[in-house]
Amino acid sequence: MKHLLSTRDLSREEAITILDVAEDMAEVADREVRKLPALRGRTVVNLFFEDSTRTRISFEAAAKRLSADVINFSAKGSSVSKGESLKDTAQTLAAIGADAVVIRHGSSGAPRVLADSGWIDAPVINAGDGTHEHPTQALLDAFTMRRRLHGAGSRGRDLDGVTVTIVGDILHSRVARSNAWLLTALGASVTFVAPATLLPIGIENWPVTVLYDLDRALAQRPDVVMMLRIQGERMHAAYFPSAREYSRLWGLDDARLAMLAADTMVMHPGPMNRGLEISAGAADSPRSTVLEQVANGVSIRMAVLYLTLSGEGGKQ
């Protein structure tokens, strides 16, 4: 695997390879010394043009557990805020000797531009680009589902027959996009539930079922309910009447939580708007996988860094 830009071009086999390597990495987390020498002497740059908590520290922890050196770069406080272009930034990183670049950017497609540019000859890992894709998030979500369903250490398995309902601000969600491609490649069935104003144009061409009524969707008893954050920072118009109205119609509140089967997984990529798309009761319930997702994210990112930097995993 040369780069990881999107889940759209991952085959079932490639996705399972990443999940299986992540199982190996998860075993390292249980050891007394949580470190492997695999990437000793290599430099990973975290290039974050957009805010992030979980994803940035997760990539940092992953690189460090593989003994790589990590440089954290955030656009705020860098020369990017003086107008420096992606090209100049990339060439600077190349001159420093970066071996891999993890990039989060507000513009959809920026990681692809970097990978195809020739400005830097290093694996590029997309850590979220605009409203486009967030492949490592989808991989950690799939990994979390596989572990809850089949147990830790279950290698080689896909998500055949698993039903996943993704609810909320699909329009602005790179998490929903990456999950739609990845989960269906792994054999799961994906349903989107949202108000019509929060669905992207052309949704009928996606490999998903669309429903507009959350209670009807939950009555189908999906294995997984994934709630998405209302992305206020990307909204420049009114997409729903009020926050109260949104949570009444589209929120996973305590009453809806109580209707779910005891083993339904409640997922959220974070950061959560508690009380808006998800109640505190749902976020903190035993069904919730929110903190498992964060922990599993480190294993997935270790696997992706390892596979791209060690040149294993075939393809590209």
Which residues of the shown chain bind ligand NCD in the complex (CB under 6 A)?
54-55, 128, 134, 137, 174-175, 229, 231, 269-270
Which of 293, 301, 299, 297 lies closest to 265, judged by CA?
Answer: 293
Nearer to ligand NCD, 99 or 277 (CB): 277
| Cβ contact 92:114 at 8 Å | no
Nearer to ligand NCD, 150 or 274 (CB): 274
SS (H, E, C) 270-282: CCCCECCCECHHH
Residue 91 CB, nearest approach to ligand NCD (Å)? 27
Nearer to ligand NCD, 105 or 229 (CB): 229
Q: How far is it, in rounded angstroms, from Cα 89 to Cα 159?
A: 40
Nearer to ligand NCD, 231 or 264 (CB): 231
Nearer to ligand NCD, 123 or 128 (CB): 128
Radius of gyration of the chain (CA): 19
| Cβ contact 35:206 at 8 Å | no
Name the residue with tokens 């602005």: 172
Nearer to ligand NCD, 107 or 117 (CB): 107
**Tokens (6 digits) for 190:** 């994906």
Nearer to ligand NCD, 3 or 56 (CB): 56
Nearer to ligand NCD, 42 or 105 (CB): 105
Residue 229 CB, nearest approach to ligand NCD (Å)? 3
Residue 231 CB, nearest approach to ligand NCD (Å)? 6
Residue 54 CB, nearest approach to ligand NCD (Å)? 5
Residue 168 CB, nearest approach to ligand NCD (Å)? 9
Instruction: Return the half-sphere exposure (C-beta side, CA atoms, 13 A cut-off) of residue 78.
Output: 18
Name the residue with tokens 């969707």: 217
Residue 104 CB, nearest approach to ligand NCD (Å)? 8
Residue 15 CB, nearest approach to ligand NCD (Å)? 19
Strands across the sheet containing 265-267: 209-211, 189-193, 163-167, 224-227, 265-267
Q: How far is it, in rounded angstroms, from Cα 212 to Cα 234?
A: 22
Instruction: Give, to the nearest 10 degrees, the angle between helix 12-29 and helix 290-309.
Output: 110
Residue 312 CB, nearest approach to ligand NCD (Å)? 26
CB closest to ligand NCD, residue no:
229
Strands across the sheet containing 100-105: 69-74, 43-48, 100-105, 124-129
